[in-house]
Amino acid sequence: MTLASIPVGLWLTAIAVRDTRTRRITNALLWPGLIAVAAIGTTSAGVVVAGVVAATPYLIAWLLRQCGGGDVKLALVVGGLTADWATGMLVVLLAALLSAIAALVARSSSLPHGPALVGASALLLAVTH
């Protein structure tokens, strides 16, 4: 665990809480992560590839009006945080599984997806780093 893990964890938690409470992830919350992924991506292609791999399923879902734009941007950020395309895809798959479990428990088909993305990325980052 690095010192940067604490503020990143708090920031991701704020995003998950915001999405849970309002069902929206504001751009103001996402900008730091988007800028970080873009900046680090200038020297690390793995960051960009992982972000795009994680964001692509959400972009398709957004085009089909099945998720919000905040989910697409958050997926790009958490995928970029993994810096590995395979882990980025695992984030997407684990987030889908977590969302399905939450929907079954809550008996609702309409839950915010940000918390699942944050949880999946936190779990996989803890295991892989």
Identify the pLDDT of residue 106: 87
Q: How many domains does the chain have?
A: 1
Identify the pLDDT of residue 16: 95
Give the global pTM: 0.92
pLDDT digits (tens, 9 = 90+) for 27-78: 999 999 999 999 999 999 999 999 999 999 999 999 999 999 999 999 999 9
- Residue 112 domain boundaries: 5-128
Q: Give mean pLDDT, residues 16-26.
A: 94
Token pair 């088909």 is found at: 109
In our burial notation (b when 16+ CB lie closer than 10 A, e otherwise), range 68-90 reads bebbbbbbbbbbbbbbbbebbbb
pLDDT digits (tens, 9 = 90+) for 92-122: 999 999 999 998 998 887 889 899 999 999 9
